[in-house]
Amino acid sequence: MSHFNVGKKYHNERIDDSGHCNANDGIVVLSFAKLCWLGGMLILSVVGGVLTFSLEALLVFIITTAISLCMGHSLGMHRKLIHQSYQCPQWLEYLLVHLGVLVGLAGPIGMIRTHDMRDWAQRQDKCHDYFGHQQPMIIDAYWQLFCDINLNKPPTFKLEQRVKDNNVLNLMENTWMLQQLPWALLFFAIGGLPWVIWGICMRVSVSVLGHWLIGYFAHNHGERHWHVKGAHIQGHNIRFAALITMGESWHNNHHAYPGSAKLGLKPGEVDLGWYVLQGLKKAGLIWAIKLPKDLPKRPELEPI
């Protein structure tokens, strides 16, 4: 999937904004599904976390969170499924995307749609505050965690055939919440209720909240190496979060080179996801890795 072409400000084959689209004209509405999903996870985490805490349960939380965020969200959902920044066997892509679904944000198609719509909006001359995390933190938290935005004149979202016609990815999309259940049963069989609370509920709650929090800072505060001319919203690098986000917090780098499999581009920018990719490459499991030098030049990209 090629997102950027020479001489064009923005090009995404999945987004058709050839009509009179508007990224700023819309309303934010409460999502009952998000309220029930995340609200339920948060309640179980707070109450159950206190009652079932142990060092073993904490370790389960740390391990499962690290695996799902790095292998799943960063490598599977973001760098592979959305940006196609490397290639791998189909079975490995399914495994990585499944781990990404377990993060608890959405199914694979939902993640692509949310990512691409936000990316499209941010690169317009003007976009709604919802897309750019431009409201005060408490309002933005409510919007991002429990609401959706309905644009009056949205672009058309068109999935590529490799995703649209893929039965496995469609199954993941249709059952993305239920995919926690087999792991919950396995955790209960091994470690009882504490493993379920900390390995499922606490992990999902912290991952979703963390995803929002990093997104908020990455569009408002932090260092920048590049400026995208004409884009209403700019990305920022959040250095302190590089380790816990597996490199995803190098967001200014990502705004500059969205198709790059490597997010930490400057010396000292730690990118754990990239290190894992290098290990998989040595094992012969991935190839055709894209770096900034492999991407089309962008005339609207200015170094700072």
Q: What is the per-residue burial (b if ≥16 Cβ within 10 Å, else e) of 2-26?
A: ebbeeeebbebebbebeeebbbbeb
pLDDT band at 1 (very low <50, low <70, confident <90, very high): very low
- Residue 19 confidence (pLDDT): 83
Amino acid making up residue 160:
E
Rounded-to-integer distance, Cα 291 and Cα 304, Å: 20
pLDDT band at 209 (very low <50, low <70, confident <90, very high): very high
Percent composition of the chain: helix, strand, coil (DSSP 3-state, to 5): 55, 10, 40
Rounded-to-integer distance, Cα 168 and Cα 149, Å: 28
pLDDT tens string 51-97: 999 999 999 999 999 999 999 999 999 999 999 999 999 999 999 99
pLDDT tens string 141-188: 999 999 999 999 999 999 999 999 999 999 999 999 999 999 999 999
Site of tokens 């941010």: 122
Rounded-to-integer distance, Cα 227 and Cα 302, Å: 5
CA 292, 1, 78, 253 dihedral sign is positive
